[in-house]
A and B are shown apart, each in its own frame.
Chain A
Amino acid sequence: MKVKGWKDIPIGGVIDKPATAREYKTGEWRIQRPIVDEEKCTNCMQCWLFCPDMAIDGRLDGKKMKLGEVNLDYCKGCGVCAAVCPVDAIEMKSESEFI
């Protein structure tokens, strides 16, 4: 989200439209990111269910849910997804590897 100058924001700190937090990219805090090994993944969707930031997308493939992308704009790198994965398909990798 592009930050604005003092002339362009509502006065008094009023937030004049709802759900603006969506524009606030909390993923900037992350120091680790989850990498999914698609060979191991069984699409059980435990990671999607447990993600506290709704950063893991699920998509419907026919009638079955399938694991989608990790939305790095919101993923804070907490590692819950890797911890709950029953088949060890998710590895937390340091952000420094992706610079």
Chain B
Amino acid sequence: MPVKLTVTGAAAVAHAMRQINPDVVAAYPITPQTPIVEYYAGFVSDGIVDTVMVPVESEHSAMSAVVGSAASGARTMTATAANGLALMSEIVYIAASYRLPIVMPIVNRALSGPINIHCDHSDAMMVRDSGWIQFFTENHQEAYDFTIMATKLAEKENVLLPVMVNLDGFITSHGVESFEMLDDEVVREFVGSWNPKYSLLNTKNPVTFGPLDLFDYYFEHHRQQEEAMKNAYKELPGVFEEFEKISGRRYDFLDLYKVDDADYIMIVMNSTASTAKYVVDQLREEGHKVGLVKPQVFTPFPKKQFQQVLNGRKGVVVLDRAMSFGKEAPLYSLVKSSLYEVASRPSLGSYIYGLGGRDTTPEMIREAFEDALQGNLSTDEQRYLGLRE
């Protein structure tokens, strides 16, 4: 029987990891990811899991150890945030290029500077071209569920890509909320056992990982990574369906909230979607046809789904919790380019919010919606919610 736990998001993620029971976890603690690693270290020291825990001296070493472990054929996980991810980033690219199915919760936090430890998505956006699959999760339940689904997807034979499960720093990671935890056996059966095709420890069939690729095959290997992303996109609906069978919870590329008849749609990722849903309810009561789209899968980017949902709407506002200096905001630019091919393009607005943990209130969300309702959107203008002039 699934049980309700009322804990922090970090504990929810740690429980997902405990049920997956990876062979190796190598991690370095960084705020606000620390409690995930702390809880997990507790599970290891109490003998609840079989995992070999490797405490390392930096995130660069954490990801290096994780790559070595995954190449040896072990099911491997780690977790990080912001500057830790930045320090890892060299090896983050290598993990994807070596096609190692590592799962890594990212507790989203501002990437300095000036120094800030609070939530925004600049860390995840920094590595958006690294070749990792990226999930974004709104709350404890989703962080827990997607960690489990990530393992299933990463290890598919035609995918074999690492996965990041993003959850909002402090808001999700440290906030206490209820979530439903599946039975250990159910999760264990869902993720199954991991039988890698290549393993450094298989002395009967010795292989080399990480050879010099140069101009001879580098291009071809990157083309393979693109194919793996396409396969991930194709495999995801099956993973969602299988997960629904064990949990009763139905996920998709996009979480659609009251969009069926909506003329105006907001797009926002992670925990702020909860605030936005509250504002959608308020505006609906006032008779406005508004709705919300929350992308759960950012990479591979669900372009077709966006096209289907947004084609023919009157106005769409995209909220980004990261900036892309000198360019359009990351989520906005992808949504905008998706709409190039649709028959009837909505008017678009780009909004930056919540940088460095700046509080995002219903009033701010309402402000963006009202711009859309009043036909006051400008495709080429970046606006800011909660910024002091």
Contact = CB atoms under 8 A, between A and B. Distances in A.
Interface of A: 3-6, 9-18
Contacts of A15: 207-208, 211
B160 A11 contact: yes
B224 A6 contact: yes
B99 to A, nearest CB: 3
Contacts of A13: 97-98, 209-211, 213, 217, 221
A3 B221 CA distance: 13
A14 B216 contact: no
Given A14-B207, A18-B206, A9 B220 contact: yes
A6 B228 CA distance: 12
Contacts of B99: 11-12
B264 to A, nearest CB: 43
A5 B160 CA distance: 20
Interface residues of B, number: 23
Q: Would you list the 8 A-B pairs with minimal beta carbon distance, nearest first?
A: A12-B99, A6-B220, A15-B208, A6-B223, A12-B98, A11-B99, A14-B198, A16-B207
A15 B208 CA distance: 5
Contacts of A3: 216-217
Contacts of A16: 198, 205, 207
| Interface hub of A4, A9, A13, A16 (most chain B Cβ within 10 A) | A13
Interface in B173-223: 198, 205-211, 213, 216-217, 219-221, 223
Contacts of A6: 219-221, 223-224, 227
B100 interface: yes
B160 A9 contact: no
B133 to A, nearest CB: 15
Given A6-B220, A6-B224, A17-B207, 16 more contacts: A3-B216, A3-B217, A4-B220, A10-B198, A11-B160, A11-B224, A12-B160, A12-B198, A12-B209, A13-B98, A13-B213, A13-B221, A14-B98, A14-B208, A14-B209, A15-B207
Contacts of B209: 12-14
A5 B198 CA distance: 21
Contacts, number: 51
| Interface hub of A9, A14, A15, A16 (most chain B Cβ within 10 A) | A14
Contacts of A5: 220
A11 B161 CA distance: 11
Interface in B131-178: 160
A61 to B, nearest CB: 37
A84 to B, nearest CB: 30
A4 to B, nearest CB: 8
A9 B216 contact: no
A5 B209 CA distance: 19
A22 to B, nearest CB: 14
A60 to B, nearest CB: 32
B100 A12 contact: yes
Interface in B203-252: 205-211, 213, 216-217, 219-221, 223-224, 227-228
A69 to B, nearest CB: 27
| Interface hub of A3, A5, A12, A13 (most chain B Cβ within 10 A) | A12
A10 B216 CA distance: 14
Nearest to B205: A16
Nearest to A18: B206
22 contacts: A5-B220, A6-B219, A6-B220, A9-B217, A9-B220, A9-B221, A11-B160, A11-B228, A12-B98, A12-B99, A12-B160, A12-B221, A12-B224, A13-B209, A13-B213, A14-B207, A14-B208, A14-B209, A15-B208, A15-B211, A16-B198, A17-B207
Interface in B86-113: 97-100
Nearest to B212: A13
A2 to B, nearest CB: 12
A14 B206 CA distance: 10
A10 B220 CA distance: 10
A19 to B, nearest CB: 10
Nearest to B200: A14
A13 B360 CA distance: 45
A13 B96 CA distance: 11
A13 B210 CA distance: 6
